[in-house]
Amino acid sequence: MSIVLRISLLIGILIYVIFIFSLLRKKNFTLKYSLLWFFSALVLFVFVIFPDVAIWISKILGIESVVNAVFLMFLFVMLLILVSLTSIVSKQHNSIKVLIQELAMAKKEIEEMKKK
Amino acid sequence: MKTLIIIPAYNERENIKRVITNLTENYPKYDYVIINDCSTDDTEKICKENGFNYVSLPANLGIGGGVQTGYKYALKNGYDIAVQMDGDGQHDPAFLDELTSVIERDEADIVIGSRFITKEGFQSSGMRRFGIKFLSLLIKLCSGADIKDVTSGYRAVNRRFIEIYSKDYADDYPEPEAIVAARMYGGRLAEVPVIMNERMGGVSSINPIKSVYYMIKVSLSILFFRITFKGGNRK
């Protein structure tokens, strides 16, 4: 990895982390869900600071360009985050379903009480 | 025994009045509840004007979430038997006694009304029958349940399964999966012959293009349900 790439990646990570922090401060981001995103920044950070790790991985996997190994690692992290998002959506789907069902029955009870 | 008929309805303005009037006039011993799944037509208005007993969902949940609301309603109001019956007139209430009597005699926990035992009445298209046969075989292999009409939405369950289904019921196309679930929870299944009509008005919720998607989705959901089942903690 060239020094220019490493410095640009470092700046990118910095902006990214600052962005997540600002979202957290504005309460637009639940701490629980921010951890995965910080983890993704950390993975990239390790590659930038210790390029030897990336070089080692690319050698083992037989990837010629080291930067491709970095991309590959990051792709896995993204996949992980996407799956976790689906899991969050599913949980919310269930909560919303229960809410709708209970609300519908509560509305019915109120209507019946009004009639009496 | 206290019996509730659960009638899921989505855009059934052309059928709902006829179905409910038939039920209340000819079979008054049964209580019923219509689950209006956020219909975009005036199904709710018709229910209100005619003084029908209905629950109206504030957002569309699909057939699974709708029927499950019915089970929750049955649980809350202390019913011993719940019967699912479509709101489009396909299911003839004349068979209610036959469905519920099996449960009253405690011969089964779940009774499914089947078109394919006596093979009378509306049998649906050959393609669809083939699909149902395939699902039936898959369910038999996965759970051991020997049911012919696995997609029939005309079924009765006892108190135990009112409780189970109000906690754990599939979202989309839930009928086949509910059979597997029944077996996984150790339920006794029975099938009784019924005669179904072709729907009289409105549009069916399943069209030919959706059918392929339906088959894949249902087959996978049956397999995954079987593999991942662990005493049921879904909601």
Supply the CATH number for residue B211's domain.
3.90.550.10
**Looking at the domain assignment, is residue A40 inside a domain?**
yes
With respect to residue A91, please indicate whether it lies within any of the assigned structural domains.
Answer: no
- The DSSP secondary-structure symbol of B59 reads S
B157 DSSP 8-state letter: E
Strands B155-158 and B81-84: antiparallel
> For residues A44 and A66, what is the distance between their CA atoms, to the nearest angstrom?
13
Chain B partners within 8 Å of A105 (Cβ): 55, 69, 72-73, 76
Decide if A61 is inside a domain: yes
A30 part of a folded domain: yes
Check if A104 contacts B (Cβ < 8 Å). yes
Would an 8 Å CB–CB cutoff place B75 in contact with chain A? Answer: no
On whether residue A13 sits in a domain, the answer given is: yes
Instruction: Name the residue range of residue B171's domain.
Output: 3-228
Which chain A residues have a beta carbon less than 8 Å from that of B72? 101, 105
B152 burial (CB, 10 Å; 0-12 / 13-18 / 19+) is: buried
Question: In angstroms, rounded to a whole number, what is the distance separating the alpha carbons of residues B7 and B29?
Answer: 16
Q: State whether ipTM is beyond 0.95.
A: no
Q: How many angstroms separate the Cα of B58 from the Cα of each of B37, B88, B112, B170?
A: 8, 21, 30, 19
Cα separation, B77 vs B2, whole angstroms: 10
Interface of A with B in 21-80 (CB under 8 A): none
| Residue A94 lies inside a defined structural domain of this protein | no
Backbone angles phi, psi at B193, to 5 degrees: -70, 135
Q: Going residue by residue through chain B, which has 235 residues, state the pLDDT in tens, using 9 for 90 and above.
A: 899 999 999 999 989 999 999 999 999 999 999 999 999 999 999 999 999 999 999 999 999 999 999 999 999 999 999 999 998 888 999 999 999 999 999 999 999 999 988 887 777 777 888 889 999 999 999 999 999 999 999 999 999 999 999 999 988 779 999 999 999 999 999 999 999 887 665 555 567 777 888 889 899 989 988 888 876 444 3
CB spacing of B76 vs A105 below 8 angstroms: yes
B165: which 2 tokens?
Answer: 């289904």
Token pair, residue A4, equals 């220019």
Is the pLDDT at A32 greater than 50? The verdict is yes
Pairing of strands B110-114, B155-158: antiparallel
Q: Do B69 and A105 touch (CB under 8 A)?
A: yes
Q: For residue B171, which residues of chain A lie inside 8 Å, CB to CB?
A: 97
Where in the sequence is the domain holding A62, given as residue range(s)? 3-85
Q: Is residue B234 part of a domain?
A: no
Is position A79 within any domain? Answer: yes
How many domains would you assign to chain A? Answer: 1
State how many domains chain B has: 1
CB contact under 8 A, A104 and B68: no
